[in-house]
Structure 1
């Protein structure tokens, strides 16, 4: 069965389609006995343009009613942590995999039925998370504010004084993608010898005190000409390009990361069977084809159709991003960044 969605017009028309799917569950399991529908509570930092068509299709296919709780990756992960003794959510979808790994004790291992079809570089050997899409980190720029030929070529150019106060960047304590970007900076310039932090300090100084509260504000503010540059995800910038915005993408010359965002089963979930069905659905071939065709997101499947209009994965210079290091050191990395922001360091 193929997704019944064709074209961006159909997708955008669904952005208010979930108004009736937020009922809370008073049952104790996934059974639909006694006329009760199966339910699923989903914690998600995704934008509505991605969530709504995928969730609607899942509901239509399965009859499972989805309650969606939205927020930033950091805030939602803290919520999962706070609710550990009595979980209120079933699935976390789709913060950066390194952020989910950092909270692995609050997730239940699950190996999706689609596992053998997934690209091995994105899967988790411990099955804490299931990858959803690979997300190269890039520099987005507004072509009305950046003259042709003056575009930055790499991360290092973000410390050029001419960009002071003109760079959009989200708070890494709230945004999973922003944390990945921070860890990418450290990897690019030296996470062991301190040179990475020297770059981060200069980068922060060039932000001129402007840190945005969420990753969605980064690409929106660049498209709206509030900032000339933004550090963001490839797919977010590409969506604006597809929509006609006068923006462009720069793949940093030093190299970048391509960490997947992911889904994870919350430990102690009240609806584990529905949660597993949803995770399997996300990495099924038709959903993975949809995210490539409609959102230009890079699929995590071996059999995915290559993206059109974007460099192929082997054409992007990638850093040796140490996923385990980023996950295990997340608290310390964010803490040190906050010290730089507050002037302690």
Structure 2
């Protein structure tokens, strides 16, 4: 009997020990959430850390690429969507995903606190804005002086033959920044004059690169004196000490919104909506304000060196639905005219 009792005691103790060990391991299990994003790589770790601190039972798994690549990937996966959430993608792309029936309308907690001008107008919204990013010209004043180039002040100035081979620009099929430029020119001036302008500009373009950041980085390095880019990267390049001036053309700035949307096909709707809730929070907007001069949460944005305090007033009129509906047609026409100067991928 004593031997039998001893054996039983050992079994009970072993089972109890196993339960104790298994408990913490079980508690540490996290639900992976697949998030497709075009957010700048500089920012990803801050969003991941902030969200996972507030939601310790969820782990973000990023799939990150440029806006055009992420948009194409989501459309290619339409029959079998993989992402749970899309974050930091252009509103013009999210409007297209909405039109394709890929997004789940959802109004995140705290939505009423956000500026409604920077989210989908439907209620509940299919996408919710984080920040505005706008076009900017990065101008290397040292290289320009060496080459005898005047400082441009407008988009039309960039069509001056004096700048032949001196300008780089993002490819609109790869880069959201490139597409917001093309869309803005067509909307501001009408299609006839918009394409006429791009024909003239193309004569001065050295190459169309596959990143919205790269033209400003190239200008900062002196590789090319002028890069059509966006204000966030221009601010960062200036902070690095590069001799770059930021120019905000007086005709109006192309712009878009980085936004979040929940995928309709997600098998983790609870976790996906919690991510959307957090991205709409003040905490997330404070992270966003480290880089962006215009954020969705009023009163959070801070002045950024080199960025005009009235940036919002410089933004051109922008119809996101038009940009989404006409995206394929515009990109096909653009490629037919200018693809020959596209940089190798």
Scaled by the length of structure 1, the TM-score of the pair is: 0.82
1:49 aligns to 2:42 (yes or no): yes
- The equivalent of 2:96 in structure 1 is 102
Q: Deviations over 1:298-343 (max 9, x none)?
A: 2111232442443223674332222222121111111110111258
Q: CA RMSD in A?
A: 2.2
Matches within 5 A, 1:1-345: 36-63=29-56, 64-104=58-98, 105=100, 106-126=102-122, 127-147=125-145, 150-191=150-191, 194-208=192-206, 210-292=207-289, 294-309=290-305, 310-313=307-310, 316-342=313-339
Residue 178 to residue 301, structure 1, CA distance change in 2 (3 Å): same
CA distance in 2, matches of 1:307, 1:282: 21
CA distance in 1, matches of 2:35, 2:222: 33
CA distance in 1, matches of 2:339, 2:300: 45
Q: Number of matched residues?
A: 308
Residue 48 to residue 261, structure 1, CA distance change in 2 (3 Å): same
Range moving further from structure 2, 320-329 or 309-318: 309-318
Shift of 1:146: 2.4
- The equivalent of 1:13 in structure 2 is none
Residue 299 to residue 67, structure 1, CA distance change in 2 (3 Å): same
CA distance in 1, matches of 2:231, 2:259: 16
Residue ranges of structure 2 left out of the alignment (5+ in a row):
1-24, 341-345
CA distance in 1, matches of 2:216, 2:230: 9
Report which of the two structures shows the higher radius of gyration computed on alpha carbons: 2
Contact 2:109 2:280 in 1 (8 A): no
SS at the partner of 2:72? helix
Scaled by the length of structure 2, the TM-score of the pair is: 0.82
- Greater fraction helix: 2
Residue ranges of structure 1 left out of the alignment (5+ in a row):
1-31
Q: Deviations over 1:204-244 (max 9, x none)?
A: 22214x11122232222122111211111111111222232
Shift of 1:199: 0.4
Shift of 1:197: 0.8
SS at the partner of 1:169? strand
